[in-house]
Amino acid sequence: MAGKLTELQVKNAKLGAAKYTKAAGHGLTLIVMPDGSKYWRLRYRFGGKARMIAVGRPYPQTTLKQAHAKAAEFRALIEAGIDPADRRRAEKLVERERVANTFGETAEAWHHFRSQAWDEKTAEQARSYLDKDMLSKLRTRPLDAVSPAELGALVAKIEARGAFDVAKKTRQWLKAIYSYARANGWTAADPARDLAAIAQRGPEKQHYAHLQLDELPDFLRALDAYDGSELVLACAKLALWTANRPGVTRTLRWDELDLDAKLWTIRKGREGMKRGYFHLTPLPVQAISMLRNLKRVTGDFDYVFISRNDPSKPLSDGAVAGMFKRIGYHGRQTAHGFRHLVSTALNDRGYEEDWIERQLAHGDPDKIRGTYNKAQYLEPRRRMMQEWADLLDAMRSGKSKVLPMRRALA
């Protein structure tokens, strides 16, 4: 008999205030966490005791069909008198014994372990750094034989080619690899501990191009005069209304939106979201009106801003930049520059710094202090961003050309 759940039901399972479960049939269970994460578990009995075991990776890495297949493998073991949890523990012990104390084998084990939680892009980036800059030099080196000077020289060569961001990541991951090795009992060494003390300072980063606040009225009117793609224009407006990252905005999906609640939910691990943080974005009424209109155009597709050539894909990352060029703002304003522009405007108007930082999705929301932890300062941010959208309307119409200073909302 087929499971009680369908793939669409799994995909659309909404997050709640507390975790809850959905039965998928034959003991397979979907656990939906408050942050939107979805985990597969198999409930079974062995030796007269109730037990539970994880099935594959979290959804959507493991689909409903794949979870059923893996659960069937576990049930076959149970019928053969083998506890799948005991089998898994035994396999892990064998794996620990297999990993010799070389940097290469440890780095591979670390990458495999961490990839279970990373999104695909982060895993690929880490893989690239490992292959190019670490494993090529350290693969066969015993963990205990690698010295701080050896790692310092490795990172210095990366800095010498001007790749300071790569050097920073390499230092971080060298520390993580050795931390993983120590936690597994493979070494007591820590040669990566002090690498930051000898890090070369890279050139000052250039901010993404953005306008000054007093240039906004003319820019907004230029947007209004744009006669190109409605979707490209809408994508730019949403980025300005919310200050979300451009990659997240252009890949917005309809199932992330609750238009009645005026809320955009970015689930943990979402592609394009820096470090995969969970994030709630309040939407001003201007955005809701625009999105309701767009739903008649792209509502039958996954993405809100669909590609011109393939509606199953999102808008290209160069589309908004192309529009800015067409209206005369090439090199003066970028989609990412909206974030700096909005941050400056809100800070100038006296809003609470914590509200602004949370709106920009800076930092892990799980570590937010104070009484707004679970709500992510949602209500004060909702009022703040509605005032921002209203101010943009006033600037566009010429009723307000200067951003007035104000006190933060109570």
Q: 38 by DSSP, 3-state: which?
A: strand
Pair 111, 130: CB distance under 8 Å: yes
Active-site residue (options: 41, 70, 245, 270): 245
Q: Given a cut of 70, is residue 409 above it in pLDDT?
A: no
Q: Could you report the per-residue pLDDT of 271-291, keeping only the tens digit for each?
A: 766 556 788 999 999 999 999
Catalytic residue among 332, 336, 383, 396: 336
Average pLDDT over residues 241-270: 92
> How far from the centroid of its chain's Cα atoms is residue 9's Cα?
23
CATH number of the 7-96 domain:
3.30.160.390
Q: Which of 38, 250, 279, 339 is catalytic?
A: 339
Amino acid, single-letter form, for residue 56: G
Domain limits, the chain: 7-96, 99-198, 213-397
Please name the residue that has the structure tokens 């939407």: 283
CATH code assigned to 99-198: 1.10.150.130
Confirm whether pTM is higher than 0.75: no
Considering the candidates 96, 127, 157, 274, report the single residue annotated as catalytic.
Answer: 274
Q: What's the confidence (pLDDT) of residue 369? A: 42
Extract the tokens encoding 4: 């009680």
pLDDT digits (tens, 9 = 90+) for 314-349: 999 899 999 999 999 998 988 888 999 999 999 888
Q: Length of the chain in residues, anyone?
A: 410
8 A C-beta contact, residue 94 and residue 109 = no
DSSP 162-209: T-HHHHHHHHHHHHHHHHHHHHTTS----TTTTGGGGPPP-PPPPPPP
Q: Is 274 a catalytic residue?
A: yes
244 — pLDDT class (breaks 50, 70, 90): very high
State yes or no: pLDDT of 94 exceeds 80. Answer: no
CA 102 to chain centre: 32
Judge whether 302 and 253 are in contact, CB under 8 Å: yes
339 is catalytic: yes
CA distance to 217, 287, 338, 403, per residue, from 400 (Å)? 9, 20, 19, 7
Superfamily of domain 213-397: Intergrase catalytic core (1.10.443.10)
Of 3-12, 248-257, 358-367, the one with minimum mean pLDDT is: 358-367
Same fold, 7-96 and 99-198: no
Distances (CA, A) of 153 to 150, 304, 354, 405: 5, 48, 40, 51
Active site residue 245: yes
Q: Is 261 in a helix, a strand, or coil?
A: coil
User: Which residues, in sequence order, are bridge partners of residue 280?
Assistant: 265
Q: Is 336 a catalytic residue?
A: yes
Query: What is the average pLDDT across 179-207?
Result: 86
User: Choosing from 114, 193, 362, 383, which is the catalytic residue?
Assistant: 362
Assign 366 a pLDDT band (cuts: 50, 70, 90).
Answer: low
Q: Predicted confidence band at 97 (pLDDT cuts at 50, 70, 90)?
A: low
